[in-house]
Amino acid sequence: MLIFPNRGSLRLQQGSGSLSLSRHDWIIAGAGFTGAVLAERIASQLDKKVLVVDRRSHIAGNAFDHKGEHGILVHKYGPHIFHTNAEKVWRYLSAFTAWRPYEHRVLGHIDGKLVPIPFNLDSLQALFPAREAASLTALLIETYGEGRNVPILKMRESGGALKALADFIYAKVFENYTLKQWSLRPEELDPSVSARVPVRISRDDRYFQDSFQSMPADGYSAMFARILKHPNIEVATDTDFRSLPERGANVIFTGPIDEYFGYRFGALPYRSLRFHFYARDERQAQPVGTVNYPNDHAYTRITEFKHLTGQETPGTVLVEEYPQSHEPGKNEPYYPIPTPGNAERLQPYLDAARALEGKVWFAGRLGDYAYYNMDQACARALALFEKQIAPFVRGDA
């Protein structure tokens, strides 16, 4: 059993050697947002015994955090900033954590200057001569309306001066960053990807505009420990779902859907990341939490964790992110790649999953092969529980 001091405890063991599967009604593969939330709902609302397995050595999935150098809370798999417009998700998670209000801000290193990202009217003013910036600002407001968010691919459909501005922003902010992150051009991806970072017709320099923006006060790992500490839940880390003996329990699989089916219809493409963490003996290294590098360096961004945690320490810890191709067994699949072609490649797996309904459910960023934010993964879990799992268990389905 692993004890989290002053944060509750959960039943946790490493490895599958002493697991008794016969006492569990449900087995959930993956202890990230989707798996943990479903485990808690099934355990607390349906009074069923749940085993959560994860092949990593920890809970919390990609949101896992831990104390690093200088006592700073570090996100092992890159920065995770919580934000949502879903009050239901906010209320649910608030039962397991207090919050530290935090509005994330990002600067982009463009033409030797640090300017707000998403690109806004202040970015425009910083990169263009004053008269031209004023003229373009007036044109943007006249065309789109003040306060609007405009996807860059939509803005590039404009003509005249707006087209020239859109092409500038595309080249300086989107094109090379997207090539590094996805190894694809923006127009090759689903439009929802570039729409995540719109052009803002305002001076709002927050990276997100959601109603709820905060960080778990004690970190994500502590929050997950509370979610999973129900007496009906047992957690086994360092345990591969495939290593479990024949299972009679119902299964929820949050890992890669193609992996579950043994890549029967071919491996689906994902993007992975490599992280370089380093400490500095200075109080603050960056003016904001994250600085993006669209056009310089092999990394896409550098994040300084102290901005996220609010800790006051004499030193600081930063992380560089290097996107790379996913290679099964060699690195982690972080991002499904949303393109029309990949949607077609996914379809046979969705059909195979549908044939298992009533025995196995697939959910989460990897299980659904969907580019979810954390709150969306949580919302997906809550919806799956309410609409499918609970009716199934109660015999209403």
pLDDT, one tens digit per residue, over 163-197 is 999 999 999 999 999 999 999 999 999 999 999 99
Give the Å distances, CA to CA, from 205 to 19, 118, 153, 190.
50, 7, 21, 25
pLDDT reading at 20 higher than 80: no
**Cα 199 to Cα 108: distance, rounded to the nearest angstrom:** 13
DSSP letter for each residue of 51-96 = EEE-SSSSSSGGG-EEE-GGG-EEETTS----EES-HHHHHHHHTT
**Cα 153 to Cα 135: distance, rounded to the nearest angstrom:** 22
- Tell me the residue length of the chain: 397
340 burial type by CB count under 10 A (0-12 exposed, 13-18 middle, 19+ buried): exposed
Please say whether the beta carbons of 74 and 193 come within 8 A. no
How many CB atoms are closer than 10 A to CB 329? 4
pLDDT reading at 396 higher than 80: no
Residue 172 DSSP code = I
pLDDT reading at 9 higher than 80: no
98 burial type by CB count under 10 A (0-12 exposed, 13-18 middle, 19+ buried): exposed
Return the pLDDT at 121. Answer: 98
**Cα 357 to Cα 337: distance, rounded to the nearest angstrom:** 25
- Token pair of 346, please? 């996914």
280: which strand partners?
316
Helix, strand, coil in percent for the chain, rounding step 5: 35, 25, 40
Residue 161 DSSP code = H
**Cα 36 to Cα 26: distance, rounded to the nearest angstrom:** 12
Q: What are phi and psi of 335, to 5 degrees?
A: -125, 120
**Cα 375 to Cα 166: distance, rounded to the nearest angstrom:** 31
> Could you tell me the end-to-end alpha-carbon distance of the chain, in angstroms, rounded to an integer?
36
Q: How confident is the model at residue 12 (pLDDT cuts 50, 70, 90)?
A: low
Please say whether the beta carbons of 52 and 31 come within 8 A. yes
Mean pLDDT along residues 226-238? 97
Q: Which of 5-9, 27-31, 46-50, 106-110 has the lowest mean pLDDT?
A: 5-9
Return the pLDDT at 11. Answer: 59
- Token pair of 113, please? 């200057």
Q: How confident is the model at residue 13 (pLDDT cuts 50, 70, 90)?
A: low
User: What are the residue ranges of CATH 3.40.50.720 in the chain?
Assistant: 2-64+217-267+336-394
199: which strand partners?
150
Return the pLDDT at 290. Answer: 98
> Over the stretch 98-138, which tens digit does the pLDDT of each residue have?
999 999 999 999 999 999 999 999 999 999 999 999 999 99
Give the Å distances, CA to CA, from 240 to 107, 254, 270.
40, 12, 20
CA atoms within 13 A on the CB side of 246: 0
> Over the stretch 289-341, which tens digit does the pLDDT of each residue have?
999 999 999 999 999 999 999 999 999 999 999 999 999 889 999 999 999 99
The strand order across the sheet containing 212-216 reads 83-84, 212-216, 99-101
Give the Å distances, CA to CA, from 174 to 44, 124, 194, 333.
45, 15, 8, 23
- Token pair of 89, please? 């998700």
**Cα 304 to Cα 291: distance, rounded to the nearest angstrom:** 9
Candidates 3.40.50.720, 3.40.50.10260, 3.40.50.10950, 3.10.580.10; correct CATH number of 2-64+217-267+336-394? 3.40.50.720
- Using CA of residue 87, residue 90, residue 94, residue 95, what is the dihedral sign? positive
157 burial type by CB count under 10 A (0-12 exposed, 13-18 middle, 19+ buried): exposed
